[in-house]
Structure 1
Amino acid sequence: MSHWTSIYQFPIDKDLSELAQFIQRYRLPLRIAEESNRQILSTLDPRLGELLLPLLQRWDAGEIRLADVRLEPVGETSAAGEETAQPESAAQGGKEPEAAAVSSPLPSWPWQKTALSLMLIALCFIGWLLLRNDLADVLIIYPDRGGDFQLDNMRQALGSSTLAWHLAHGEYWRLWSPALVHFSLPHALFNALGIWILGRPLEARAGTPVFAGLVFFSAAASNLTQYYWSPQILFGGMSGVVYALVGCVFVLQRWQPGWRDVPRGIVAVAVGWLLLCATGLVTYVFGVGVANAAHIGGFVCGLLLAVVYCLVGGARKFAPGSATV
């Protein structure tokens, strides 16, 4: 006996006439029903639901028109060598059609929903240009020289540190501004790519104010962690923020297993890279310094903030079928 499986939910006042025409045009085994003050789209084949989910999310977000979407029919090849569709429904005992949307499986967010992410990407390259032209002095935390930062002398050392000097002179922005400084073009490119892949889906789903809070706290947390760990070394870059995004995605993908805006392998690769760099092997082989403490500080900050966000109910915005803000 066949069972209908829910694959997407729409508000009760959402006009689904375009979707109904799309279903009728391709004779898809889908139905729309009203349940619990929602409009539920169901299918007899969960595999079809997985194929259509990215398309439905983009249409629900207003990014595309279903009238412009073309599906490739899957069927048998005729004697003339032409492929024919098999549109019979499961209720008739025929083979259900499979649909392949021409769009990318990952959502393409409009810039209005990811304005802060795009701004951060631009700031990565602006920070690199400022450093290259010796204009980044106002952004960095100057390294300490000859300070004793053993744990038993930590309080006294920090009280006379350059960070304390900066703060005493009202330069509070230096708690965040080192994240803008990038020491090479590849450094800026990798961090920009991380924000593009991880930051845009988070901002589009959670909303810019929530995303701004994540960036605000994680930038300070990663910078302070790196400074306390190695106060005698100059550091910079948005890697700490990127790893906060990694931590946030890690939690959300476990809270909402159906959320697939970010490929699951991205988090595994990022965590693996973090652990590899922490061993010192990357520095030994390539001779480049890595702000491991900033990575760890940002990652932990992202984990904690994401847990709090999910506990207060924010994870519902990442549920399959939920509309973006």
Structure 2
Amino acid sequence: MQKIAELPVDEDLRFFVRWIILHRVSIRVVEERGVQVVYVDNSMARDVQSVLMRYSTDPEFRTTVRSEVEHKSRPLEIAKWHTVTRPAQAWVVAGLIAICAFVALITSLGSGGPVLRALTFADPFHVVDDTIRQRLDVILLNITEGQLWRFLTPAFLHFSMMHILFNMMWLWYLGAMVEIKQGRQRFLLIFMFSAILSNIGQYLESDQLFGGMSGVVYALFGYCWFYDRRFRPVFRVPDGLFIFIIGWLLLGYTGWADAYVGKMANSAHLIGLLSGLLLALLPSRRGQDSEQQLLHP
């Protein structure tokens, strides 16, 4: 670490230190020879030094830093997000939730019928897909016959009330944050990319009778969690919640899940998560991603 400043011991740096930590920059303040000495990562030394000078001399900026720290430190802030966001603020996510609810209604939660057959990855009455080779042929068939919607529409199918409620809760919880903070285009990129890949992966593992938004949900978890660590805190998904989701993913590969929860779309979950992690490598213009951008407010 590099020393960037020596300040009087009576200068209060608590909020500044917490603000820097919020932006994933390592900082250490120690008392040496009667003064406070500030150390930070070598790569960020010049930027943090510049901001510290402003913090020490600009009362308005100091107030802004304190307000941001206090706001970000409110307990259960992320848990309250979905209760203060209105559908009009994230109408794409709200629309997807409405579509899922409508599909669940007209298919009686995936019980059968022509609508279900139209939305599954393949029409079970028209294809044979008992082997991987046959499923690969079905994928090509969907393309050559122009049935491209089948790569996406299984995401709208749900087979129980718990299934749809669980997925819609997380879709709103995470998807609305992405849409509002980084825009509809970024959210739609995550949705389309993860839904198509997770549906293809799940079809290759099982058969055409699967569905759910869980591949997209896992993608959103992976995206939000990794984006905060790759660039700067935007979504603030707690580590404990992410660990829980990983545990749930691993649980799907055990016999316990099949016996007590029901058959889970393990490939869709895994591919969705990897899709989100991959997309988190892309910076967002609306997000002001880099630490340097953030340290020059």
| Category of TM-score, reference length = shorter chain | 0.5 to 0.7
For the pair 1:253 / 2:231, whether they are aligned, the reply is: no
Q: Which amino acid aligns with 2:71?
A: L
Question: What is the correspondence of 1:97-112 to structure 2 with a 5 Å cutoff?
Answer: 106-107=80-81, 108-112=84-88
Partner of 2:196: 220
Partner of 2:144: 168
Choose which of 259, 262, 270 in structure 2 pairs with 1:296: 270
Cα gap change, 1:171/1:260 in structure 2, threshold over 3 Å: closer, same or farther?
closer
Deviations 1:191-227 (A, max 9, x none): 0001111111111111111111110111101100101
Partner of 1:200: 176
Question: What is the correspondence of 1:1-325 to structure 2 with a 5 Å cutoff?
Answer: 1-4=10-13, 5-6=15-16, 41-42=61-62, 50-53=69-72, 106-107=80-81, 108-132=84-108, 134=113, 135-142=115-122, 143=124, 145=128, 147-149=130-132, 154=133, 157-158=134-135, 160-161=137-138, 163-230=139-206, 232-256=207-231, 258-259=233-234, 261-286=236-261, 288-307=262-281, 309-310=282-283, 316=288
**3-state secondary structure, aligned to 2:216:** helix
Larger Rg: 1
Q: Which amino acid aligns with 1:281?
A: W
Quote the Cα distance in structure 1 between the aligned partners of 2:62 and 2:213.
43
Deviations 1:135-159 (A, max 9, x none): 322111235546332xxxx4xx345
Shift, 1:234, TM fit: 1.1
Q: Is the 8 A contact 1:117 1:196 kept in 2?
A: yes
Q: Is the 8 A contact 2:225 2:235 kept in 1?
A: no
Deviations 1:99-143 (A, max 9, x none): x89x98744334343111111222221221122173322111235
Q: Is the 8 A contact 1:205 1:317 kept in 2?
A: no
* Bigger helix fraction: 2
Quote the Cα distance in structure 1 between the aligned partners of 2:290 and 2:90.
16
Quote the Cα distance in structure 1 between the aligned partners of 2:257 and 2:116.
26
Quote the Cα distance in structure 2 between the aligned partners of 1:277 and 1:166.
29
Q: Is the 8 A contact 2:219 2:276 kept in 1?
A: yes
Q: Is the 8 A contact 1:252 1:315 kept in 2?
A: no
Q: What percent of counterpart residues are identical? A: 29
Quote the Cα distance in structure 2 between the aligned partners of 1:303 and 1:289.
25
Deviations 1:153-176 (A, max 9, x none): x4xx34533x33333221111000
**3-state secondary structure, aligned to 2:121:** coil
**3-state secondary structure, aligned to 1:275:** helix
Cα gap change, 1:260/1:298 in structure 2, threshold over 3 Å: closer, same or farther?
closer
**3-state secondary structure, aligned to 2:101:** helix
Q: Is the 8 A contact 2:218 2:269 kept in 1?
A: yes
Quote the Cα distance in structure 2 between the aligned partners of 1:174 and 1:223.
9
Structure 1 spans left out of the alignment, 5+ residues:
9-32, 55-99
Cα gap change, 1:238/1:127 in structure 2, threshold over 3 Å: closer, same or farther?
same
Partner of 2:28: none
Structure 2 spans left out of the alignment, 5+ residues:
1-9, 21-52
Q: What's the TM-score, normalizing by structure 1?
A: 0.62
**3-state secondary structure, aligned to 1:160:** helix
